[in-house]
Amino acid sequence: MKNKHVVDLTDLSHRELMDIISLANEIKSKPGDYLDACKGKILATLFYEPSTRTQMSFQTAMLRLGGRIIGFDNPQNSSVAKGENLKDTISVIGGYADIIAIRHPSEGTAAAAAMYSPVPIINAGDGGHLHPTQTLTDVITLHNELGRLDNLCIGLCGDLKNGRTVHSLIKTMSTFRGNKFVLISTPELSVPQYIKDVINASECDYTEVTSLAEAMPQLDVLYMTRIQRERFLSEEEYQRQNGVFVLDKDKLRYAKKTMKILHPLPRVDEIDVEVDYDERAKYYIQTVYGMYGRMALILTMLKNYEKVFAPRVMSTHPFKCSNPRCITKSEKYLPSIFTEAGGDMLLCRYCDGRTLI
């Protein structure tokens, strides 16, 4: 692999992504051939935020490859509770493990960790920003269940503002030609501007709508998401958004027979349980594809790498990122790194936040 770390799935070329999908399917069909593939290797799972699927999927993936696992799922039981910074945690664990999967509530954490890690970093979710291995799960599901990744009409519904799985999925799917995104949300929870900019710069298209039923007939894929309660500033604000979009059998009457329903899970109440019995519902099989995808990714990332201490990175600008959820807000020693986005606009390299100078 060209990149040592996976902060987003777009860190992989199309060739690398297709190779990983093929490898995932190969492992799925012949799991016995891979029982020792990672023998002697250690995966560290550092989860600073709750998780069921992603954490266990990573752990199961490594165990099924014959490797071993270390890590924490409650940072209060680690030195983080004593005030240890991310740089030190990553530098130390990078000396113990061969690969690290990290989830953190601050946006841009994986990019910051990658800056100090001697071993490959996989972003397992950084706040409301990105979640590349969920996208890997989603693309394997689409590839296997629909047979293609291009020329699809993809509806994304729910919390498109805070849903990191949505951002990563749009970024990756807009690298395939002819995809059309139907963004179904309330105006308050629409996708961030930087994601719209990604679509605008691609050979894909998007529309924004507020009715799930009206969007339904044209969709090849419906990607439902949970309203991300933990990202809201107040409970009232969350309650105003919760329950606005619910997929039930009635709405499915307007959908194509071949449409596939995906959801990164956990579901709260945005999909009625009745829908689970519809053959278009793919969210349980999606979790299985995710485990094989992570096996393929770990195996690929562990191939041909050597532990090397990352070189020092210097600030590119004297400014600070203005996104209050950016990792640079809590980890003050991080260099300020921006790319210039034209005019007076800077884009933070950690969180993609926009800062005006």
Residue ranges in contact with ligand NCD by CB under 6 A: 53-54, 125, 131, 134, 164-165, 226, 264-266
Residues 17 and 317: beta-carbon distance below 8 Å: no
- Minimum CB distance to ligand NCD, residue 269 (Å): 13
- Quote the CA–CA distance of 211 and 244 in Å, as a whole number: 10
- Minimum CB distance to ligand NCD, residue 51 (Å): 6
- Quote the CA–CA distance of 123 and 110 in Å, as a whole number: 5
Residue with smaller CB distance to ligand NCD, 10 or 134 = 134
Q: For tokens 């689970």, what's the residue?
A: 276
Q: Fill in the amino acid letter for 139.
A: V
Residue with smaller CB distance to ligand NCD, 86 or 265 = 265
- Quote the CA–CA distance of 169 and 189 in Å, as a whole number: 17
Please tell me whether the peptide bond between 217 and the residue prior to it is cis, using omega within 30 degrees of 0: no
- Minimum CB distance to ligand NCD, residue 36 (Å): 28
Considering only CA atoms, which of 27, 66, 67 is closest in space to residue 44? 67
Residues 262 and 286: beta-carbon distance below 8 Å: yes
8-state DSSP, 107: B
3-state SS assignment for residue 144:
helix
Residue with smaller CB distance to ligand NCD, 227 or 334 = 227
Task: Give the pairing of strands 345-348 and 338-340.
Answer: antiparallel
CA 41 vs CA 44, 61, 65, 99, 119: distances in Å: 10, 12, 9, 8, 12
Task: Give the pairing of strands 180-184 and 153-157.
Answer: parallel
Residue with smaller CB distance to ligand NCD, 125 or 192 = 125
- Minimum CB distance to ligand NCD, residue 164 (Å): 5
- Minimum CB distance to ligand NCD, residue 284 (Å): 12
Q: Can you count the helices (H) and strands (E) in the chain?
A: 11, 12
- Minimum CB distance to ligand NCD, residue 214 (Å): 24
Return the structure tokens found at 52. 């069921």
- Minimum CB distance to ligand NCD, residue 137 (Å): 8
Buried b / exposed e along 162-196 (16+ C-beta atoms within 10 A): bbbbbbbbbbbbbbbeebbbbbbbbeebbbbebbb
- Minimum CB distance to ligand NCD, residue 127 (Å): 9
3-state SS assignment for residue 182:
strand
Residue with smaller CB distance to ligand NCD, 37 or 56 = 56
Residue with smaller CB distance to ligand NCD, 226 or 325 = 226
Residue with smaller CB distance to ligand NCD, 134 or 336 = 134
- Minimum CB distance to ligand NCD, residue 125 (Å): 5
Residue with smaller CB distance to ligand NCD, 180 or 263 = 263
